[in-house]
């Protein structure tokens, strides 16, 4: 009956990979996996835990099914599933990815009491007034004066940066790091500046130009002449 194999095990220099066929039923797959792992002598020889990558091709696995597979593999062998790789994404996952990678632009003033939050990068054309807050999962770029609070990388991305035409914030936050402006801030704000988290976990405010060295991966564009 089982002419083709639904489960193949491959060892590479990076570790083990389990290829699971995407055309058979999930139950069939589990049965064969169970059998394969019990038989396989190659893996048995070693006692120490091995990590394994699982690829499932064009099969969609929901969270429960992923758990089942991981469980099965863990129980049978000294194997730990490092990652389950699938070619399939749900609509929601795509939406989520999309919004995390999007630059949302808006032209308006963020006024006292207002909070704007985006999942990806924010490009604001206008000021953030004192008492106003802008938050982004990614970077924040403000073409205007930042007088309120900006929180970049608000879901825990310390690589995120904040840039503003005029930097006069009441507070800067990047990931969980906070820097507050001095209580007696008399200056008119400095122009064309950026903020990033340095190696020793400090928020540094510097000229905009340093970003190309500090955060080279800000560039998404490759090419040009």
Partner 1 sequence: MGEAIVITSGKGGVGKTTTSANIGTALALQGKRVCLIDTDIGLRNLDVVMGLENRIIYDLVDVIQGRCKIHQALVKDKRFDDKLYLLPAAQTTDKNAVEPEQMKKLVDELKQDYDYIIIDCPAGIEQGYKNAVAGADKAIVVTTPEVSAVRDADRIIGLIEKEEHVESPKLVINRIRSHMMKNGDMLDVDEITTHLSIDLIGIVADDDEVIRASNHGEPIVMNPNSKASIAYRNIARRILGESVPLQQLDTQDKGMFSKIKRFFGVR
In the complex, the smallest distance separating the C-beta of residue 167 from partner 1, rounded to whole angstroms, is: 16
Identify which of residues 121 and 127 has a Cβ nearer to partner 1 in the complex. 127
In the complex, the smallest distance separating the C-beta of residue 123 from partner 1, rounded to whole angstroms, is: 18
Identify which of residues 15 and 130 has a Cβ nearer to partner 1 in the complex. 130
Identify which of residues 168 and 173 has a Cβ nearer to partner 1 in the complex. 168
End-to-end CA distance of the chain: 59
Residue ranges in 26-85 that form contacts with partner 1 under rule CB under 8 A? none
In the complex, the smallest distance separating the C-beta of residue 111 from partner 1, rounded to whole angstroms, is: 3
Identify which of residues 132 and 169 has a Cβ nearer to partner 1 in the complex. 132
In the complex, the smallest distance separating the C-beta of residue 151 from partner 1, rounded to whole angstroms, is: 19
Residue ranges in 86-145 that form contacts with partner 1 under rule CB under 8 A? 109, 111-114, 126-127, 129-132
Identify which of residues 52 and 166 has a Cβ nearer to partner 1 in the complex. 166
Please count the residues of this chain forming the interface with partner 1, following the rule CB under 8 A: 11
In the complex, the smallest distance separating the C-beta of residue 195 from partner 1, rounded to whole angstroms, is: 22
Partners of residue 54 on adjacent β-strands: 18, 84
Chain centroid to CA 151: how far? 17
Q: Where along the sequence are the contacts to partner 1 (CB under 8 A)?
A: 109, 111-114, 126-127, 129-132
């Amino acid at each position: 009956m089982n002419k083709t194999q639904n489960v193949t095990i491959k060892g590479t220099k990076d570790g083990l990979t389990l290829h699971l066929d995407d055309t058979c039923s999930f139950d069939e797959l589990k049965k064969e996996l169970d059998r394969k792992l019990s038989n396989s002598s190659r893996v048995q020889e070693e006692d120490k835990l091995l990590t394994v990558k699982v690829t499932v091709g064009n099969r969609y696995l929901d969270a429960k099914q992923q758990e089942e597979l991981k469980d099965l593999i863990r129980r049978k062998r000294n194997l730990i599933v490092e990652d389950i790789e699938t070619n399939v994404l749900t609509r929601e996952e795509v939406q989520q990815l999309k919004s995390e990678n999007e630059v949302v632009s808006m032209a308006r003033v963020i006024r006292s009491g207002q909070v704007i939050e985006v999942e990806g990068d924010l490009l604001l054309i206008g000021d953030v007034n004192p008492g106003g807050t802008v938050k982004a999962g990614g970077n924040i770029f403000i073409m205007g004066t930042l007088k309120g609070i900006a929180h970049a990388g608000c879901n825990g991305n310390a690589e995120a940066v904040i840039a503003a035409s005029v930097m006069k914030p009441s507070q800067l936050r990047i990931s969980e790091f906070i820097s507050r402006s001095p209580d007696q801030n008399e200056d008119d704000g400095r122009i064309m500046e950026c903020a990033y988290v340095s190696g020793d976990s400090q928020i540094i405010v510097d000229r905009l130009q340093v970003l190309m060295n500090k955060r080279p991966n800000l560039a998404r564009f490759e090419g040009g002449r």
